Amino acid sequence: MTELRFVIKLMFIERKDMYISIFFGILAGLSTVAVFADSGYLVSKAALLPPLYILTIFVALLKLFTVIRAFARYAERYYSHRATFTILSNVRTYFFNKLEPLAPSLFQRFRSGDLLARVVGDVESLQNFFLRVYYPPIVMLVVFLTTVLFTAMFSLPVAIILLLGLVITGFCIPFIFAIKQRGIQAKIRQLRTELSTDTTEFLYGFLDLKLYQKLSSKEKKLSQTSDVYIGKQEDKGKQEQLNSAVNHWFSLLTSWSVIALGAYLVSAGELDGVFLAMLVLISLTVFETAAPMTEVPGYFEDTRHAAELLSSIINEAEKQQELKSNGRLAELDGPPEIECKNVHFYFPGEARPTLTDVSLRLPSGSKTAIVGPSGSGKSTLLHLLLKLYPPSSGTIRIQGQDLAHLDEDQLWKNISPVLQGNHFFYGSVRENLRLAGDNISDDKMNEVLSYVKLDHLSVDSVVLEKGANLSGGEKQRLAIARAMLKKGSLLLLDEPTSSVDPITQQRVMNRLFTGAKDNTIVLISHNLTGLEHMDQIIVMDQGRIIESGTFQELMEMRGGYFYRMKMIENGIWGQVQ
C-alpha cells in the first residue's frame, strides 16, 4: 500500500471533485433504491384502494426520485471523470518532473520501449485508482448500509439476508476472482512491456532488418508476442465475465430469498403484506451498486503494481534530488578549471570498470585533446564531466567544487557540447539552432553557418526528423554551429568533425578555436593532425590514462603509444619500426 502513497497524495489535490462525485454517487444510488421502493409500495398500496391523495403523494415522490436519480448520476459521472483526468494529468506531470533529472542514467538501465511502456502504460493505469478502486466501495457501502437499515425498519430477517448478500457479492466473490486473476494480470503486464520494447526496436531498426533480410522473422516474433498478449487479454475478459455472472447469480439468489422469506413472514403475520413488493424491489435494485465491486480487486492489483514500478523510479529521483540539495549551487564564472582525482566508473550491471583511476587537471582556459583506441573510455569520461553519470568512486571538481554538488542546469548553462550522436528535430535550421538560445538573430545564425561552411543552408532550410536530409558531415557542422552560438565557457567536443573532409575540418576547427580562445576546451579525436597547438594531450587505453603531456613531450617518448599512432598517421610507421 505504501507504493500508492504518492498516487493518493496527488489524488487528494482534487479532493473537491472527489467529494462531490462521492456525494452524487451516493445520492444516485439511494435515489435509485428509493424509486423502486416507492414503486413497489405504490403498486401494493394501489391494490388496497387507498384515498387518492395518498397515491398522488407517492406518484409525486416517484417523479422526484427519478429526477434526482438522473441528475445525480450525471453529476457523479461528470465530477468523477473530471477528477480522474485531472488526477491523471497531475500524475503525468509529477512523474515527468521526477524522471527528467534521471534521464541519461535511466536510458542506461531501461530499454527505451520498456521506459515507454512504463511511462505510458503504468501512468495510464493509475487513472483507474480513483475511478474504479477508491470511490465505488465507499458509494456501495453507504448505499447498501443505508438500505439495510431502512429494510430493518420493516423486517430484520430480510435486512440480515441483504447484508449477507452484500458481504458475498461485494467482498467474497470479487476477492476469490482477484486471486484467480493475479497470474493472468502479471503475465499481461510482462507481455505489454515486451511488446512495447520489441515494437520500438522493430521501428528503430526497420532499415537494417530489411537490408539484412531479417524483417519477416522479426515480424513473426512480434506477431507471436502480440497473439499471446491478445490471448491473455481474452482470458482476462472471460474471467471478468464469469465473475460478473456469478455475482449476478448471487444477487438474484438473494432477491429470491427475500421473496421466499418475505412471503413466509407475511403468512406468519410478522410482516405487513403491503411492504413485500417494496422489499423485493429494493433487493433487486441495491445490488446494482455492488456490480462495480467485481472490478475493484483487479484494478487495485493493476494500479498497485504500476505505482510500485513508478515509485521505484521516483525514489531514485528523490535520492538524487536530496544529494543535490545537500550541496552548494555554484555560480560558474568564466572558463572553468577541471580536476579529476582517482575516478573509477562502472556502467550499471557491468563487472568490468570502464574508467580506472583516472586523474587529470585541465587548467582554466586550457585546450586538451583526449586520444586513444576505440572503446578506451574517452566518451565515457566526457559524459562524466557533463554529469550525465556520477563516478563510481573518486571526485571530479569544477572550479574547486565537487561536481556531485553542482546543479545540472547551472553546469549545462556553461557548457557547449558537441557529442557523437547529436539530435536534430523536424523543422527549420533556425528552430534547430534556437536550442542554443531563444534570442539569437537570423543574421548571427547565418554568420555562424558560414563559419562552419554550411553557406548553402539558410535559417529557413528544412531539417527532417533526426536530420535525415543532412549528410553526416553536415549534421556535425550544424552541431558545431549550435555549440558556437551557445557560447559556453567549457567546450566538450567528442569527435566533432569525424565525418568532415580534411580541408573543411581544418577551417571549421580553426574558426571554432579562434572563437573560443579564452575558453576551456576538451577535444576527443582520432585525428592527430593539429594537436601540436593543444596545451596537453591525454592518451587513454582500456579506461586508464597511459600517457599525458604536450605534443612535443609525447613525441619525445619514442615507442610510446602517441608516438606510434602519429607515425602510423604519417604513414611512416613501417619505416621506424
Ligand X SMILES: Nc1ncnc2c1ncn2[C@@H]1O[C@H](COP(=O)(O)OP(=O)(O)OP(=O)(O)O)[C@@H](O)[C@H]1O
Residues 385-414 that bind ligand X (CB under 6 A): none
Task: From residue 214, give the alpha-carbon distance in Å to each of 201, 209, 221.
Answer: 13, 5, 11
Q: Which of 367, 378, 486, 566 binds ligand X (CB under 6 A)?
A: 378
Pick between residue 151 and residue 376 the one whose CB is nearest to ligand X: 376
Residue 377 interacts with ligand X (CB under 6 A)? yes
Smallest gap from Cβ 111 to ligand X, in A, equals 12
Q: Is 464 helix (H, G, I), strand (E, B) or coil?
A: coil
Residue 347 interacts with ligand X (CB under 6 A)? yes
Rounded Cα gap, residues 253 and 283, in angstroms: 10
Q: Which stretch binds ligand X (CB under 6 A): 52-60, 140-148, 149-157, 371-379?
A: 371-379
CB 148 within 8 A of CB 164: no
CB 155 within 8 A of CB 262: yes
CB 23 within 8 A of CB 324: no
Residue 499: Cβ-neighbour burial (10 angstroms; 0-12, 13-18, 19+): middle
Residue 354 interacts with ligand X (CB under 6 A)? yes
Tell me how far the alpha carbon of residue 478 is from its chain's centroid: 31
Rounded Cα gap, residues 302 and 129, in angstroms: 9
Smallest gap from Cβ 542 to ligand X, in A, equals 8
Smallest gap from Cβ 143 to ligand X, in A, equals 56
Smallest gap from Cβ 205 to ligand X, in A, equals 17
Q: How many Cβ atoms from other residues are within 10 Å of residue 287's Cβ?
A: 24
Smallest gap from Cβ 505 to ligand X, in A, equals 17
Pick between residue 350 and residue 443 the one whose CB is nearest to ligand X: 350
Pick between residue 2 and residue 374 the one whose CB is nearest to ligand X: 374
Cell numbers for 290: 455492488
Residue 519 interacts with ligand X (CB under 6 A)? no
Residue 107 interacts with ligand X (CB under 6 A)? no
Residue at 477: amino acid letter: R
Q: Which stretch binds ligand X (CB under 6 A): 235-243, 377-385, 409-417, 505-513?
A: 377-385
Q: Is 336 helix (H, G, I), strand (E, B) or coil?
A: coil
Rounded Cα gap, residues 318 and 101, in angstroms: 10
Smallest gap from Cβ 372 to ligand X, in A, equals 6
Q: Which stretch binds ligand X (CB under 6 A): 51-59, 67-75, 162-170, 367-375?
A: 367-375
Pick between residue 363 and residue 530 the one whose CB is nearest to ligand X: 530
* CA neighbor of 531 nearest in space, from 453, 547, 412, 382: 547
Torsion angles phi and psi, residue 455, rounded to 5 = -60, -25
Pick between residue 283 and residue 379 the one whose CB is nearest to ligand X: 379
DSSP symbol at 167 = I
Q: Which of 56, 89, 93, 108 binds ligand X (CB under 6 A)?
A: 108
Residue 368 interacts with ligand X (CB under 6 A)? no
Residue 350 interacts with ligand X (CB under 6 A)? yes
Pick between residue 231 and residue 375 the one whose CB is nearest to ligand X: 375
Smallest gap from Cβ 374 to ligand X, in A, equals 3
Q: Which stretch binds ligand X (CB under 6 A): 219-227, 372-380, 480-488, 510-518?
A: 372-380
Smallest gap from Cβ 533 to ligand X, in A, equals 21
φ/ψ region of 471 (left if φ > 0, alpha if ψ in -120 to 50, else beta) reads: beta
300-304 CB contacts, 8 Å cutoff, 24+ apart: 300/133, 300/178, 301/178, 301/181, 301/182, 301/185, 302/125, 302/128, 302/185, 302/189, 303/4, 303/7, 303/125, 303/126, 303/128, 303/129, 303/133, 304/1, 304/3, 304/4
Residue 351 interacts with ligand X (CB under 6 A)? no
Smallest gap from Cβ 336 to ligand X, in A, equals 22
Smallest gap from Cβ 404 to ligand X, in A, equals 20
Residue 421 interacts with ligand X (CB under 6 A)? no
Rounded Cα gap, residues 29 and 69, in angstroms: 8
Q: Is 341 helix (H, G, I), strand (E, B) or coil?
A: strand
Q: Which of 128, 247, 376, 520 binds ligand X (CB under 6 A)?
A: 376
Q: How many chain residues bind ligand X (CB under 6 A)?
A: 12
Residues 252-311 that bind ligand X (CB under 6 A): none
Task: From residue 452, give the alpha-carbon distance in Å to each of 43, 339, 487.
Answer: 90, 31, 15
Residues 184-243 that bind ligand X (CB under 6 A): none
Smallest gap from Cβ 225 to ligand X, in A, equals 25
Residue 379 interacts with ligand X (CB under 6 A)? yes
Could you list the residues that contact ligand X (CB under 6 A)? 108, 347, 350, 354, 372, 374-380
